């Protein structure tokens, strides 16, 4: 990964941080986004200490704000002329309803709309840097469908349902984007890291947090497939797939529905106001 630049969202803890460490060990230049500069500086020092790689950089980005995402992408392009790997890793699971800076249900905004915007805004750079790769971190909980009648769960909020829908949306986005990028030298795949000890359930009840800790695996294990997809020559020409433990696996039936994917894409464009 020497002379390769990787941009990772949500790398101050959990799977994202372990992914950054793993790719830094391979020699990549790491750029990661943060909402907390103090925490990010500590993470940067930790990555450098563990890897000996000093090419670790930070960009501020609030993924719950369209304006912040656009500013982040603009800043990235002003500092870097290439992008070889984009890893949309960050995710949230709100147990109480929250609203993003743009007035949108926060899980939908952060887990799905944010990767959609960031990816599309950086596509020109990814194409110029080909061969390049996009990796979307999804979840085994993506079963269900897209609730187009109430996509933000305004009538009756459920954190679990909103989370599942956002991760299904990310897989549909991955599969459709792979078709749109055919022949460009840019691949896009998604990864299901399994239940991992992360900060995802930080807003849960005490009992639920305990379950997350007891059942969750080490973030290093959760990061292995993201690192593999970002660096291995074995997957250089594979695109539009769903990976679990470094292998292509079947995802839910609805995640292959291209009619559903196209409808979601159109709905998304109305939200994000980008071409």
Helix (H, G, I), strand (E, B) or coil at 8: strand
| Vertex 251 angle, CA 250 and 254, to 5° | 130
- Name which of 164, 189, 184 is nearest 91 in CA terms: 164
Q: How far lies 265's CA from each of 23, 172, 245, 262, in Å?
A: 31, 9, 28, 5
The tokens describing 202, both together, are 């930080």
H helix intervals, 26-63: 37-51
Q: Are 110 and 64 in contact (CB under 8 A)?
A: yes
**91 closest CA partner among 144, 145, 154, 169:** 169
Measure the CA–CA gap between 11 and 192, rounded to whole angstroms: 17
Catalytic one of 112, 163, 228, 271:
163
| Residue 163 is among the residues annotated as catalytic for this protein | yes
Q: Give the containing element (helix H, strand E) for 130.
A: none
Q: In this structure, are residues 192 and 138 in contact, taking their beta carbons and an 8 Å threshold? A: yes
Give Cβ neighbours of residue 57 (< 8 Å, ≥ 6 apart): 29, 30, 31, 32, 44, 79
- Report the catalytic residues: 163
């Amino acid at each position: 990964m020497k002379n390769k630049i990787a941009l990772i969202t949500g790398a101050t803890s959990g799977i994202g941080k372990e992914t950054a460490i793993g790719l830094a060990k391979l020699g990549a230049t790491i750029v990661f986004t943060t909402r907390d500069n103090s925490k990010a500086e500590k993470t940067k020092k930790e990555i450098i200490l563990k890897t000996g790689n000093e090419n670790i950089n930070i960009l501020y980005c609030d993924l719950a704000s369209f304006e912040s995402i656009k500013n982040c992408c603009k800043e990235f392009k002003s500092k870097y002329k290439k992008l070889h790997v984009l890893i949309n890793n960050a995710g949230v699971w709100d147990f109480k309803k929250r609203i993003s800076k743009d007035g949108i249900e926060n899980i939908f905004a952060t887990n799905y709309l944010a990767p959609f915007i960031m990816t599309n805004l950086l596509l020109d750079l990814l194409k110029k840097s080909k061969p390049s790769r996009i990796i979307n971190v999804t979840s085994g909980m993506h079963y269900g469908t897209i609730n187009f009648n109430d996509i933000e769960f305004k009538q009756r909020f459920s954190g679990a349902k909103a989370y599942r829908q956002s991760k299904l949306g990310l897989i549909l986005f991955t599969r459709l984007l792979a078709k749109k990028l055919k022949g460009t030298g840019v691949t896009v795949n998604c990864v299901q890291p399994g239940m991992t000890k992360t900060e995802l359930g930080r807003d849960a009840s005490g009992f639920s947090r305990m379950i997350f800790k007891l059942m969750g695996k080490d973030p290093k294990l959760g990061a292995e497939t993201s690192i593999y997809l970002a660096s291995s020559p074995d997957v250089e020409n594979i695109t539009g797939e769903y990976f679990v433990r470094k292998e292509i696996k079947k995802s839910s039936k609805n995640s292959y529905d291209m009619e559903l994917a196209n409808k979601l894409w159109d709905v998304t464009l109305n939200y994000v106001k980008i071409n």
